[in-house]
Chains A and B, each alone.
Chain A
Amino acid sequence: MKIDIGFIIFAVAIFVGLFFTIYTLITVYENWGRHRTPLLRKKEPRVCVIIPCYNECLTVARTIESVLALDYPRRKLEVIVVDDGSTDDTYAAAKKFEKRGVTVYKKRNGGKHTALNFALKKTTAPLVGALDADSTVAPNALRKIAWYFRKATVMAVTPSMKIDIPKGFLRRIQSVEFILGIYLRRVFADLGSQHVTPGPFTIYRKEFFEKHGFYRKAHMTEDIEVALRIQAYHYLIENATDAYVYTHGPSTWNALYQQRLRWYYGFISNLWDYRRLFSKEHGNLGLFILPMSFFSLAILSSVLVYTLTKMTSSFVQNMYQYWLIGFDFWELLEWNFSTFFINTSPIALLGIVTLLLGVSVIMIARFFAGEKKILWSYILFALFYSWLYVFWWVNAFFHKVFKHKPIWGHKSNTGV
């Protein structure tokens, strides 16, 4: 067995990968029964759904329609649209819904968190949640989410986010990423360690905001800050895995890059503000989940850098060698395959085991996501995602270290 730097990197990566995968699989198994919840069918609490928007005249109607289509007693559902100073026809488009009981406000532009807080002050519903104007919600989502609030320690319940139309290279990759996200969110909830609550349709107990303060600017990722705050105060965040909310997802490289840069920069910044969460008193979150997220990023980066270096030097060397023989490939072609030459080193074998476990995770994630098709997307994801992921994170870190805030384009029709 050759023990060089490649061996060490892959051995560590596989060990950590195996550990984490097995741990999450067991967690899902242990908590399976807990999530066989019925829909909440009586004594439904009042819920206020806030739709903050800025220049989304094209999509806001669809969003409002999906909220009005929720299977929930109409008198228990309050819908507030807050136009954060749009310069297009968003206000007019939303106003059309006033006759259906939707309350529409227009205010001066101040950022998403100001729009949310504006609405929070206007409502008395015990449960509140937001829905981005480029997202839509499944009809039974609210009943599924509402059930989890029966436990008093639950301050927030997250849905499962999916890409609504996974067509095109970038959206296909995002759809698989979101499916894995659904799996992870479920696992984190089971471990009491959910630390990111998706903006669209996470429902909160209003009591939390009243007691501990409303939304803050929080580096343009106010939903991350609230989640960390809830954790800091030792409350519970649950996950309603089969409550689905759909979002468009950016379709251009630049829009996707800007979105991820904002998310990850926000994550790093908020986590730094809440670094006290990295402690034993925060259980699984402090000692395992949070450290893991950075540690696994470091490992993934090492693996990719190593692989890229090897692939490049290999390619360069091969090209040089072919040049030396005048690119006369035909003489080199020989069919002498034998099973002898299959890589059976321990790393290769363990890699296969990890891959198989990874496939099980994907299958469970697909079940959680209610997915039934599309093989193509998974191949694209497997080939390209980790490179993008590391690229975005490295950029986010550089931006943070060199104090360069990402541009917060107000949410626009491109779905940033």
Chain B
Amino acid sequence: MSIRKKIKKRKYAIVFGMTVTIFIFGLLVGSMFTTQKLADVRDLQDTLRSDTLDLEVTYTLLEQDPCEYVNMSLLVEDLQDVAERVDFLEGELGKDDDNVLRLKKYYSLLQLRQWLFEERVRTECAQNQSIILYFYNNEPGTCPSCEEQGFILSYLRKKYGDDLSVYSFDIQTQSEAVQAVIRRHAIEEVPSIVLDEELLVGFHSTDELELLLE
């Protein structure tokens, strides 16, 4: 009167197959989204590059009162949009992803270019905003206070708006220009801040920085 328990191997195999299929589908769709996002960021960067060139050339061409016509705030915003997206992708794809590294390098160059232009405009137009260059290393374990320092600088940038510009550089970036800036300011440790050409080594708190910004 007892029963013999059979296993329907075929059913297990079919369900396994379905699960694997869904998994592969998930990986493919995820990869599609990633490709699209990388393309979006590259587009943003290209647009920013051409807009920057537009502004620089305009500035150079204008003979009378170029300072009145030059307004960098849109470029600053666009650069910030790029930064957020590159950060996001670095989080999603990992620090060592090739695509991420390439985007970071392009982004660093766009930063350098905007910085140089801003320095020039600041001098020639007698503007009085502060400019901070921030050097960090986000390789896990190399710089424990870098993340906090970056957070403080983001906060200050938002708080002071147009009166403060912050440009951040990962010292591991494989770029001649970035390495040149590092050498020029004799950066040896991270985190390091260059505030209006004054070098500050190590972690600096919000209060310390606000004092210096006055």
Residues of A within 8 A of B (CB): 1-3, 15, 18-19, 22-23, 26, 152-153, 192, 233-236, 280-288, 320-321, 324-326, 328, 331-332, 334, 336, 340-341, 343-350, 353
Stretch at the interface among B11-19, B56-64, B115-123: B11-19
| Distance, CA A321 to CA B147, complexed state (A) | 9
Q: A1-B27, A23-B12 are in contact. List 11 more A-B contacts (CB 8 A).
A: A2-B93, A19-B16, A23-B15, A235-B2, A281-B5, A283-B7, A320-B148, A321-B151, A344-B34, A345-B30, A346-B31
Q: A325 is contacted by which of B1, B6, B92, B155 (Cβ under 8 Å)?
A: B155
Q: How far is the CB of B154 from chain A (nearest CB, A)?
A: 8
Residue B37, interface by CB 8 Å? yes
Give the interface size class of chain B: 35 or more
Q: Are the CB atoms of B19 and A22 closer together than 8 Å? A: yes
A-B contact list, 10 entries, CB within 8 Å: A18-B19, A19-B19, A233-B2, A234-B3, A284-B5, A321-B148, A331-B159, A344-B29, A344-B33, A349-B26
Residue pair A346, B19 in contact (C-beta under 8 Å): no
CB–CB B15/A287 < 8 A: no
Residues of A contacting B81 in the complex (Cβ-Cβ under 8 angstroms): 336
Q: Which residue of the partner chain B has the closest CB to A342? A: B33
Query: Which of B5, B7, B12, B29 has the most C-beta atoms of chain A within 10 angstroms of its own C-beta?
Result: B5
Nearest Cβ in chain A — how far from B166, in angstroms?
A: 14
Residue contact A328 to B15, C-beta cutoff 8 Å: no
**How many angstroms from the CA of A105 to the CA of B137 in the assembled complex?**
80
Asked whether B30 lies within 8 Å of A153 as measured between CB atoms, the reply is no
**Given known A-B contacts A325-B206, A349-B26, A331 and B92 have beta carbons under 8 A apart:** no
A22 to B37, CA, bound (A): 32
Q: Give Cα distance in the complex from A26 to B15, angstroms.
A: 9
Q: How far is the CA of A209 from the CA of B154 in the complex (A)?
A: 74
Chain A residues near B15 (CB-CB < 8 A): 19, 22-23, 26
CB pair B3 A334 closer than 8 Å: no
Which of A15, A235, A288, A325 has the most B CB atoms < 10 Å from its CB? A325
Is B152 an interface residue, CB under 8 A from the partner? Answer: yes
**Cβ B2 vs Cβ A324 within 8 A:** no
Point out the residue from A23, A192, A350 that lies within 8 Å of B22, measured CB to CB: A350
A340 to B92, CA, bound (A): 12
Q: Identify the interface centre among B23, B26, B34, B155: most chain A CB within 10 Å of its CB.
A: B26
Please tell me which one of the listed residues A192, A324, A346 contacts residue B148 in the complex, with CB atoms under 8 A apart: A324
B148 near A236 (CB under 8 angstroms)?
Answer: no
- A343 with B19, Cβ < 8 A, contacts A1-B30, A349-B30 known: no
Q: Known interface pairs A18-B22, A22-B15. Does A282 touch B5 (Cβ–Cβ under 8 Å)? A: yes
Residues A287 and B2 in contact, CB atoms below 8 Å apart: no
Which chain B residues border A353 with CB–CB below 8 Å? 22, 26
A324-B205 contact given A284-B5, A332-B155, CB 8 Å threshold? yes
> Chain A nearest CB: distance from B28 CB in Å?
8
User: Which residues on A sit within 8 Å (CB–CB) of B27?
Assistant: 1, 346
How far, in angstroms, from A381 to B105 measured CA to CA in the complex? 47
Contacts of A344 in B (CB 8 A): 29-30, 33-34, 37
Q: B4 contacts the other chain (Cβ, under 8 Å)?
A: yes
Which 4 residue pairs of A and B lie closest in terms of their CB atoms, listed nearest first?
A: A283-B5, A346-B30, A234-B2, A344-B33
**B12: A residues at CB distance < 8 A:** 23, 288
**Chain B nearest CB: distance from A229 CB in Å?**
13
A residues near B148, Cβ cutoff 8 Å: 320-321, 324
- Chain A residues with Cβ below 8 Å from B23 are 15, 18, 350
Please, which residues of chain B bring their CB within 8 A of the CB of A346?
A: 26-27, 29-31
B72-115 near A? 1/0 per residue, CB < 8 Å: 00000000010011001001111001000000000000000000
Q: Do A1 and B93 touch across chains, with their CB atoms under 8 A apart? A: yes
How far does the alpha carbon of A328 sit from the alpha carbon of B6 in the complex, in Å? 66
Query: Chain A residue with minimal CB distance to B92?
Result: A345
Q: Cβ of B19: which chain A residues have Cβ within 8 Å of it?
A: 15, 18-19, 22
Closest residue on chain B to residue A346 by CB atoms: B30
Please determine whether A2 and B40 come into contact, CB atoms closer than 8 angstroms: no
**Whole-angstrom CA separation of A93 from B15 in the bound complex:** 54
Q: Decide yes or no whether B185 CB sits under 8 A from chain A.
A: no
Contact indicator A340/B85 (Cβ below 8 Å): yes
**Residues of B close to A288: CB separation below 8 A:** 7, 12
A341 to chain B, nearest CB (A): 6
Expressed in whole angstroms, the minimum distance between the Cβ of A34 and any Cβ of chain B is: 15
Q: Given A325-B151, A326-B206, A331-B155, A26 and B3 touching (CB < 8 A)? A: no
| Closest A residue to B205 using CB positions | A324
Instruction: A234 to B3: give the CA distance in the assembly, Å.
Output: 6
Closest to A230 in B: B2
Whether the pair B92, A343 counts as a contact (CB closer than 8 A) is yes
CB distance from A25 to the nearest CB of B (A): 9
A15, B17: Cα distance in complex, Å = 11
Cβ contacts under 8 Å, B16 to chain A = 19
| Chain A contacts for B11, CB-based, 8 A | 23, 26
Cα–Cα, bound, A153→B5 (Å):
12
**Is the pair B85, A334 in contact by a Cβ cutoff of 8 Å?**
no
CA of A348 to CA of B88, assembled, Å: 15
Looking at the assembled complex, report how far the CB atom of A123 sits from the nearest CB atom of chain B, in whole angstroms: 22
- Report whether B26 and A192 are in contact in the complex, using a CB–CB cutoff of 8 Å: no
Query: Is the Cβ of A341 less than 8 Å from the Cβ of B88?
Result: yes
CB nearest neighbor in B for A151? B3
- Say yes or no: B18 contacts A2, CB within 8 Å: no
Nearest B residue to A354 by beta-carbon distance? B22
**Pairwise interchain contact B5-A192, C-beta atoms closer than 8 A:** yes
Chain B residues, CB < 8 A from A336: 81, 84
Q: How far is the CB of B167 from chain A (nearest CB, A)?
A: 19
| Residues of chain B with a CB closer than 8 A to A281's CB | 5
